[in-house]
A and B are shown apart, each in its own frame.
Chain A
């Protein structure tokens, strides 16, 4: 019996369409990418029906973590040449008679996420190379009335950038007392307009219920 001879072809798949598709997806993702910010504390924002997007610049974001730490983040302004962040750091250092070098200011300017470092530890924080070493300094900004550094940060941020908008990003589990304290500090500095950062959630009301 002669064996049936199968055509011996190497299993070669034409990958061109796949590559095409991948290129398209890759290009799309690269063009639309806005990097997700890594926050020093995990924060799950509450949901609301608001559809207003967060502004891209002129914001100072107060991050309230569930373990009652307060972090602050502010941007460099609509133009990176404005260099708001190093200016604010210099003012803050001036208040506590700490002289920051140009290298430290540059590092602070580029630091991408929120910081919760007491100002006296700021130099060590900026000198730390490793992300893990940096995280050890993130103990939250002091907000006690004896050493209210958050108030000073807010004051200097508003001095440097008068158009700044206050955003509050809190975890759903953050206790109200800390929120109240932060709101009080903001109100002391005549900030009474806030943006609460939330995630979008749809809600429907039953119209017939109202008409009854």
Chain B
């Protein structure tokens, strides 16, 4: 009797050894799924970028405005409904009754970018040639030097346009950022964000009131 019991015990022990210790992992997997989902939804993967802009310092009231050549000046007025109006040069006080017409364009690659690239051809060519040299590996310099070289290219340029950006009161913030971005894309050396004048407001109002065809016919 005693022998048989012993045998049974021995058999039972053997059986227990055969079974691999199996843990049920389902709850763990459930929890992990939950955590992964939580982290994926709350993580900001792409950090937002910044675009630097420096506004000109406030002029003292008696200080004369800086003089710039009218032939290089290009005025960009941001209108309502994502429209852009441009006109070259300046408006002289004697022309206030006979305001020059505005050219209407848009934010597409064939719109304002075309105009800017055409006027900024020499500098844009230099910049793209330089970027090609860096990208193809013919010129090996550090990232900081690339930026410095580009800045130098822009500094010595004296043929590109001087762009004055003005925003009509119905323009929105997106337009302002877009046009500043366009300056960076086209490699414009000199651009500034300035206040809109009363006659430019008037010009925009007539241009947006009149049919677009008449506004674009000249220039």
Contact = CB atoms under 8 A, between A and B. Distances in A.
A121 to B, nearest CB: 27
Contacts of B42: 33, 35-36
A18 B186 CA distance: 50
Nearest to A29: B39
Contacts of A188: 58
Decide if the interface of chain A is mainly helix, strand, loop or mixed. Answer: mixed
A198 B40 CA distance: 22
A103 interface: no
Contacts of B164: none
B105 interface: no
Chain A interface category by residue count: 35 or more
A212 to B, nearest CB: 9
Contacts of B53: 193-196
Interface in B31-54: 32-33, 35-36, 39-40, 42-44, 46-54
Decide if the interface of chain B is mainly helix, strand, loop or mixed. Answer: helix
Contacts, number: 173
Contacts of B168: 176
Contact of A195 (B51, B78, B114): B51
A148 interface: no
A120 interface: no
Nearest to B128: A207
B121 interface: yes
A210 B174 contact: no
Contacts of A33: 39, 42-43
A30 interface: yes
A57 interface: no
A26 B125 contact: no
B177 interface: yes
A211 B48 CA distance: 34
